[in-house]
Structure 1
Amino acid sequence: MKLKLIALLSFVILILAACSSAQNGKMSGMDHENMNNVGESKNNGEETQMDSLKTTNFETLTGNEFTIVAKEAIHQLNNKVSVKAWTFNGSVPGSQIRVKEGEKVKITLKNELPDPVSIHWHGIPVPNEMDGIPGVTQNAVQPGESFTYEFIAANPGTYMYHTHQDGVNQLDKGLYGSFLVEPKEKTYDRDFTLMLDEWMSNPKEADSSMNGMNHGNMSGMDHSNMGGMDSNKSSDPKESSNDSGMDSESMRHSMNNYDIFTINGKSGDLVEPLKVKEGEKIRIRLANIGFMSHKIHLHGHKFKVVAVDGQELNEPQELKDQLISIAPGERYDIEFTADNPGEWYLECHGDMEGTDGMKAKIQYEGNTESKDQSDQDKNLPEFTFTNYGGTKNGEFKLDQKYDVEYTMDLNTMMDGKNMVYTINGKTFPDTEKINVKKGDLVKVKLVNNSMMDDHPMHLHGHFFQVLSKNGKPVKGSPIIKDTINLKPGDEYVVAFKADNPGNWLFHCHDLHHASAGMVTMVKYDGYRPNFTPDPNANNKPE
Structure 2
Amino acid sequence: MWQDPEIGRRAVLRGALGVLAAGAFGSCDGSGSPGKSRLVGPHSEAVRAAERLRRAPEQRVVTRKITARESVVDLGGRTVRTWTYDDALPGPGLRTRAGDLLRVELTNDLPHETSIHWHGLALSNDMDGVPGLTQDPIGAGSRFVYEFTTTDPGTYFFHPHTGVQLDRGLYGVLIVDDPDEPGDYDQEWVVVLDDWIDGTGRTPDDVLDRLAASMGHGGMMGQTMHSPLLGSAGDVDYPLYLVNGRTPRAPVTLTGRPGQRARIRIVNAGSDTAFRVALGGHRLTVTHSDGFPVTPVATDALLIGMGERYDVIVDLADGVFPLVAQAEGKSGAGLALVRTGAGAAPSTGTTVRELDRRVLLGTDLAVADSARLGSRRIDRNLEAVLGGGMMSYRWTINGAAFPDSDPLTVTQGERVRLHVRNTSMMFHPMHLHGHTFALAGSGVRKDTVVVRPHQSLEVDLQADNPGQWALHCHNVYHAETGMMTVLSYRR
Same fold (TM over 0.5): yes
Aligned to 1:410: 386
The corresponding residue for 2:318 is: 341
* Structure-2 change in CA distance of 1:94 and 1:493 (3 Å): same
Alignment of 1:187-226 (within 5 A): 187-200=184-197, 201-203=200-202, 207=206, 211-213=210-212
CA distance in 2, matches of 1:345, 1:490: 34
Q: Does 1:279 align with 2:245?
A: no
* Contact persistence 2:278–2:302 (CA under 8 A): yes
Match of 1:512 among 471, 477, 481: 477
**Contact 1:172–1:199, Cα closer than 8 Å, also in 2:** yes
SS in 2 for 1:269: coil
Q: In structure 2, how many angstroms separate the alpha carbons of the residues matched to 1:253 and 1:352? A: 5
Cα distance in 2 for partners of 1:294, 1:429 equals 30
Alignment of 1:113-512 (within 5 A): 113-166=110-163, 168=164, 170-184=165-179, 185=181, 186-200=183-197, 201-203=200-202, 207=206, 211-213=210-212, 255-291=235-271, 292-314=273-295, 316-319=296-299, 322-338=300-316, 340-349=317-326, 355-356=332-333, 358-364=334-340, 367-369=341-343, 374-375=350-351, 379-386=356-363, 388=365, 392=369, 394-396=372-374, 401-413=377-389, 418-451=392-425, 453-467=426-440, 473-474=441-442, 478-512=443-477
- SS of the equivalent of 1:313 reads strand
Identity, % of aligned positions: 31
SS at match of 1:64: strand
- Report Cα offsets for 1:234-273 as digits up to 9, x if no partner: xxxxxxxxxxxxx999x98964441100011111132210
Q: Given that residues 202 and 257 in structure 1 are in contact (C-alpha distance below 8 angstroms), is that contact kept between their aligned partners in structure 2?
A: no
Shift in Å, 1:299: 1.6
Aligned to 2:70: 72
Q: Is the 8 A contact 1:260 1:354 kept in 2?
A: no
Partner Cα distance (2:482, 2:412) in 1: 27
Q: Deviation at 1:413?
A: 4.5
- CA distances 1:375-413 after superposition (whole Å, capped 9, x unpaired): 35863331144454577493255xx63111012111115
CA distance in 2, matches of 1:390, 1:198: 30
* Distance (Å, rounded) in 1 between the aligned partners of 2:430 and 2:423: 14
Q: Deviations over 1:319-347 (max 9, x none)?
A: 3xx22110000001111122x11111110
1:207 Cα deviation from its structure 2 partner: 3.4
Q: 1:78 to 1:353 in 2, by over 3 A?
A: farther
Name the CA shift for 1:204/1:128 in 2 (closer, same or farther; >3 Å). closer
Look up the equivalent residue of 1:178 and give its one-letter code. Answer: V
- 1:93 corresponding residue in structure 2: 90
CA contact (8 A) 1:294 1:349 kept: yes
**Separation of aligned partners in 2, 1:345 and 1:33:** 40
Measured against aligned partners, the alpha-carbon deviations of 1:170-210 in whole angstroms (never above 9, x if no partner) come to 11221110111112132322111111111123316993785
- The runs of 5 or more residues in structure 1 that have no matched partner are 1-26, 35-61, 217-246, 468-472, 527-542
Tell me what 1:51 maps to: none
For the 8 Å contact 1:259–1:353, the answer to whether it is kept is no
Q: What displacement does 1:102 show?
A: 1.3
Question: Any residues of structure 2 matched to 1:514-533 within 5 Å, and which?
Answer: 514-526=479-491
The CA distance in 2 between the partners of 1:206 and 1:501, in whole Å, is: 33
1:485 Cα deviation from its structure 2 partner: 0.7
Q: What CA distance in whole angstroms lies between the structure 2 residues aligned with 1:310 and 1:136?
A: 25
Larger-gyration structure (1/2)? 1
2: CA distance between counterparts of 1:408 and 1:352? 26
**1:124, CA displacement in angstroms?**
0.8
- Cα deviation, 1:127-156, whole Å, max 9, x if unaligned, reads 000001101111111111111111111111
Rounded Cα–Cα distance in structure 1 between residues aligned with 2:61 and 2:397: 41
TM-score by length of 2: 0.78
Q: 2:136 aligns to what SS in structure 1?
A: coil
Q: What number of residue pairs does the alignment pair up?
A: 417
2:314 counterpart SS class: strand
Are positions 1:109 and 2:83 aligned together?
A: no
Change over 3 Å in CA distance of 1:87–1:190 after alignment to 2? same
- Judge conservation of contact 1:215–1:515 (CA < 8 Å) in 2: no
Q: Which amino acid aligns with 1:158?
A: T
Encode CA deviations 1:448-491: one digit per residue, 9 max, x unaligned. Answer: 1112x111000000000011xxxxx32xxx31000011111221
- Say which SS state the counterpart of residue 210 (structure 2) adopts: coil
State the partner residue of 2:12.
Answer: none
Distance 1:385 1:142, change over 3 A: closer
Return the alpha-carbon distance in structure 2 between the equivalents of residues 205 and 125 of structure 1.
Answer: 29
Q: Partner of 1:233 in structure 2?
A: none
Question: Structure 1 length normalisation: TM-score?
Answer: 0.71
Query: Secondary structure of 2:212's partner?
Result: coil
Please give the alpha-carbon distance, in whole angstroms, between the structure 1 residues aligned to 2:133 and 2:345.
53
Per-residue CA deviations over 1:198-228 (Å, capped at 9, x if unaligned) read: 1123316993785342799xxxxxxxxxxxx
State which drifts further: 507-516 or 198-207. 198-207
- Paired letter, 2:357: L
Check conservation: 2:430, 2:472, Cα contact below 8 A: yes
Say whether the 8 Å CA contact 2:84–2:91 is kept in structure 1. yes
| Unaligned 5+ runs, structure 2 | 7-59, 216-223
CA distance in 2, matches of 1:133, 1:318: 37
* 1:444 to 1:97, Cα distance in 2 relative to 1, 3 A: same
Q: In 2 relative to 1, CA 115–386 (structure 1 residues): closer, same or farther, beyond 3 Å?
A: closer
CA distance in 2, matches of 1:31, 1:83: 19
Which residue is equivalent to 1:5? none
